[in-house]
Amino acid sequence: MRLTYLAIALTKMEPDWWLEVDNTYLSRIAERRDLYDQHGTLVLDYLPGSELACKEIMEMCLQFYCARYPNLFSLSSDKMTFINKLTKEDTNLRAMHPLLVLLRNVPEDFAIVLRNETDGLYYFRAGVICSSLGWNVSTKIGMALKDIHKPIPDYKEKMAFSMDRYFTKMPTDAPIQRGSWGLEVGTPLFMPPGHPHEKLREIQKEGLSVEDCYLRVDWQTLRRLPLSAGVAFNFKALFTPVAEFRDEPYIPALLLKILKEGKKSLMEYKNTWHVEHVCIPALEAYDEEQRAKGWVKPENAGEEAW
């Protein structure tokens, strides 16, 4: 568990670890295929003008897989068939939309934004997103970044103009990354508006156990596409049981500091209230235990963790 999981600052991305294949690969691929079968354009859609960018990000992902994991993935001699030894499937790249190829082979979400030459703003033009909470592709596609991010505290005042300007100047050889975090009951991946799991965010459930609570981190990367000049976001939801923080020095103190002292508007947006009645007492106990064992300094543990 890295401390950077709790940060929101942009950092340089390590290219070799752009798309990781782990022991959840097959289960995530199966889950994403099921979500698409159930929800269609709620998780995958694209608008006219995004064709080149979609093809470009697909090719970059498949080429990365083949170079990074040559024993698991390869391309046919004519480069038109993707061979996946994990799923034991061959994909005809001529016969399937690029985003569907990604959905069926890469357990990461992708969103493509393109610049509108009329107003200079970036708009969400295509995406395959199976890990959205409280929204989905159909509710955001076609929107400008500034409108997509309206619910985020301080975005309009502090970030809206600079974000579009940053994307305009973003080079193709400098991908970046960041983490966005939250606390959840269980491990909900896809939760569109009206999903039954949303009800759990409205109450402090009686009998809830800390073992039922997870830190969810959406680990995100951003890169400029060299041919289409679009910007591609990709992100993957990672879940860590809060109970595991008992053995992570300084993490309980850091998370407690954020929960207790975080900016009110930001914490309301994060919506951690529904698990705080369970997580705060547990984290306080973990912090006291770590202090007693000498794992952390007796004072300023939260500040040290920063």
How does pLDDT run across 124-154, given as a tens digit for each residue?
999 999 998 888 999 999 999 888 876 565 5
User: SS3 letters for 6-67?
Assistant: HCCCCEECCHHHCCCCCCCHHHHHHHHHHHHHHHHHHCEEECCCCHHHHHHHHHHHHHHHHH
Q: Say what the pLDDT of residue 266 is.
A: 80
pTM comes to 0.84
Q: pLDDT above 70 covers what percent of the chain?
A: 89
Q: Say what the pLDDT of residue 4 is.
A: 34
- What is the mean pLDDT of the segment spanning 57-73? 97
- What does pLDDT average to over the chain? 88
Tokens 């859609």, located at residue: 45
Q: How far apart are CA 76 and CA 26, in angstroms?
A: 22
Q: Which residues of 257-277 are buried (b: 16+ CB within 10 A; e: fewer)?
A: bbbeeeeeeebeebbbebbbe
Q: Say what the pLDDT of residue 147 is.
A: 84
Question: Binning pLDDT at 50, 70 and 90, where does residue 3 land?
Answer: very low
Q: Which residues of 83-115 are buried (b: 16+ CB within 10 A; e: fewer)?
A: ebeebeeebebeeebbbbbbbbbbbbbbbbbbb
- What is the mean pLDDT of the segment spanning 148-166? 63
pLDDT above 50 (res 65): yes
